[in-house]
A and B are shown apart, each in its own frame.
Chain A
């Protein structure tokens, strides 16, 4: 076979697979989804045009708002600690006086590569009410003088029903997500820290700045664009969170649907109840939320940099 490409046409041929694949599996479904969102369809009987009815149904559906609310709370509960911990630990590793750097970096990153489904099974056991490791630890901590009093002050009733009490389901999901994704952010921040010219630090040191001052006055401002990127990824990821809550609540959404996320509700609407039209409308509403939050994030982190 002698199929020779000219130098002019070769690049187009080489990049074409992406655009072809995206047209079929990306763009077409998105457009089709938009069309579907104005129709009623169960995938079997005939499609019926209903106009904006699906959208009206979605925005007036209390369960949808509950699910959006759950997603937002989980998003805040995990994103804030994730980035704070990641930044702090990355800065410590970066400062350079630490041994076993490689080990720490790899260890922190390890959770990211594992399957959410597999890890959720382990966390279900860790969260066990009577025999779970986390409650056992809390019980041991309670015996430490001072900490027991602190627990009482916080109205912490041990043992905690992590996955059985509506109040604790969201923290339980957020904790597992934090465990899984902090390392990813850490690696990102660590790499970004290494790109900051060391002369800046040396100058600050000569001026007598402490590491903590340097962190807030030099490091954080210079990391603005990376923080923007990392938080954007957190928004896109966490507002679509599915596998973790699905697994931790056994696919049900948990007690009083306290762990029902928007993605799970969309899954139920589309695939359990075969409401393809309503599900598509829901997807569009959910994605507009993601866009709004990404823009807010841009306003906070990017434009001033």
Chain B
């Protein structure tokens, strides 16, 4: 404990209590909807629409799941989401680390200009291109396929930037040594740079996976058959029919939310570190 004078001590105590109170209230507000979702997924329709609202778990989870499965192949949607997010993540990791490596470790003509141009594209509002983007996808025959949700983003500026930030810290001597040993440029990237970059790959991987998992507008436009729905699309379609059974919708929400929450709980440090690395260094 600090050895301050008494009045100051009381003041700091009050200040501290206030801070804990505000942080505590904030944390309760952010976490409560998750808890409430879990609670309601175990409740029947009558229990959900009762007053006061239920706050503790019920017993109807599997009944609700059963109702949900009659309306929506939710596990197919879960698999679709895993497939889309997983394959996008793998491709992003490969292409973005390659681009990041080039920007971090090579000297080449036009590097600065190319890099700034790339970053500038991040500022372009997505809505500007959504209509022609959809027309293109239709032209390619990509409607009702996963390609439009995976391919366009595989080499994105955010990922390249993030990987560059990390790879700038790799000592040049390692790369030069490999060159002297006669390793080709791609081989150096693949065998030496990538393995060292695992922490950054983890961060980017989590980011990409979660971003892809939550993708909605494009997915809704492209995926038009039930069997192809990803989780957000499936859940949005449930909303229309939700009036009949909210418990079932809440089971769907749990299935859509829990995987990312679990990933986040295990990797929140990496996630936050990656985000701040991307945002504060300009």
- A and B bind: yes
Do B19 and A92 have beta carbons less than 8 Å apart? yes
Assembly CA distance A92 to B17 (angstroms)? 11
**Do residues B136 and A29 form an inter-chain contact, with CB atoms below 8 A?**
yes
Which stretch (A61-69, A72-80, A149-157, A263-271) binds chain B?
Answer: A263-271
- Report if A104-B23 is in contact (Cβ < 8 Å); known contacts: A14-B99, A43-B135, A115-B256: yes
The residue from A24, A104, A122 contacting B33, defined by CB atoms under 8 A apart: A122
Judged by a CB distance under 8 angstroms, whether B173 is at the interface is no
Q: List, in ascending order, chain B residues with CB within 8 A of A133's CB.
A: 36, 53
With A26-B129, A283-B131 as given contacts, are A89 and B279 in contact (CB-CB < 8 Å)? Answer: no
Within the assembled complex, what's the spacing in Å between the Cα atoms of A136 and B48? 13
Instruction: Answer yes or no: B65 CB below 8 A from chain A CBs.
Output: no
- Contacts A17-B99, A121-B253, A236-B123; is A195 near B280 (CB within 8 Å)? yes
Residues from chain B with a CB closer than 8 A to the CB of A192 are: 280
Is B235 part of the binding interface, using a Cβ–Cβ cutoff of 8 Å?
yes
> What chain B residues lie within 8 Å of A138 (beta carbons)?
none
Give the size category of B's interface with A. 35 or more
Q: How far is the CB of B125 from chain A (nearest CB, A)?
A: 5
> Contact between A17 and B154 (Cβ–Cβ < 8 Å)?
yes
Known: A22-B121, A32-B132, A271-B221. A118 touches B23 (CB 8 A): no
B220 to chain A, nearest CB (A): 9
- Chain A CB within 8 A of B22 CB: yes
Residue B189 CB within 8 A of the other chain: yes
- Mark contacts of A252-280 with chain B using CB atoms, 8 A cut-off: 1 yes-contact digit, 0 otherwise: 00000000000100110011000010011
Q: Do residues B49 and A117 form an inter-chain contact, with CB atoms below 8 A? A: no
Contact A17 B98 (CB under 8 A): yes
Residues of A close to B129: CB separation below 8 A:
25-26, 29-30, 33, 283
Determine the chain B residues whose CB is within 8 A of the CB of A114 once the complex forms: 214, 257, 260-261
Interfacial residues of chain B within 81-99, with CB under 8 A of chain A in the complex: 95, 98-99
> Which residues of chain B have C-beta atoms less than 8 A from A263's C-beta?
127
Q: Are B210 and A121 in contact (CB under 8 A)?
A: no
- Interface membership of chain A positions 10-48, coded 1 if the CB is closer than 8 angstroms to chain B and 0 otherwise: 111011011111101110111011001000000100000
Question: Which range contains the number of A residues in contact with the other chain?
Answer: 35 or more
Indicate if the CB atoms of B157 and A110 lie closer than 8 Å: no
In the complex, per-residue mask of B20-44: 1 if CB is within 8 Å of any chain A CB, else 0: 1011001101110110110010000
B282 at the interface (CB under 8 A from A): yes
Contact B33 A118, beta carbon cutoff 8 Å? no
| B80 in the interface (beta carbon within 8 A) | no
Given contacts A92-B23, A118-B253, contact A243 B216 (CB under 8 A): yes
Q: Give CA–CA (A111, B28) in the complex, Å.
A: 12
B198 within 8 A of A: no
Bound complex: CA A193 to CA B238 (Å):
43
Contact call B268/A14, Cβ cutoff below 8 A: no
- Set A6, A117, A280: member contacting B232, Cβ < 8 A: A117
Cβ of A5 to closest chain B Cβ, rounded Å: 4
Residues A136 and B53 in contact in the complex (CB < 8 Å), given A14-B101, A119-B33, A121-B250 = yes
Can you spell out 5 A-B residue pairs with CB atoms less than 8 angstroms apart? Answer: A25-B151, A109-B271, A121-B235, A183-B30, A229-B282
In the complex, given contacts A25-B136, A43-B135, what are 13 additional A-B residue pairs having Cβ atoms less than 8 angstroms apart?
A18-B155, A18-B160, A26-B121, A33-B132, A107-B27, A110-B264, A111-B33, A117-B216, A121-B238, A131-B48, A191-B280, A243-B216, A276-B135
Interchain residue pairs A-B with the least CB separation, the first 6: A191-B276, A29-B129, A14-B102, A10-B185, A11-B106, A17-B155
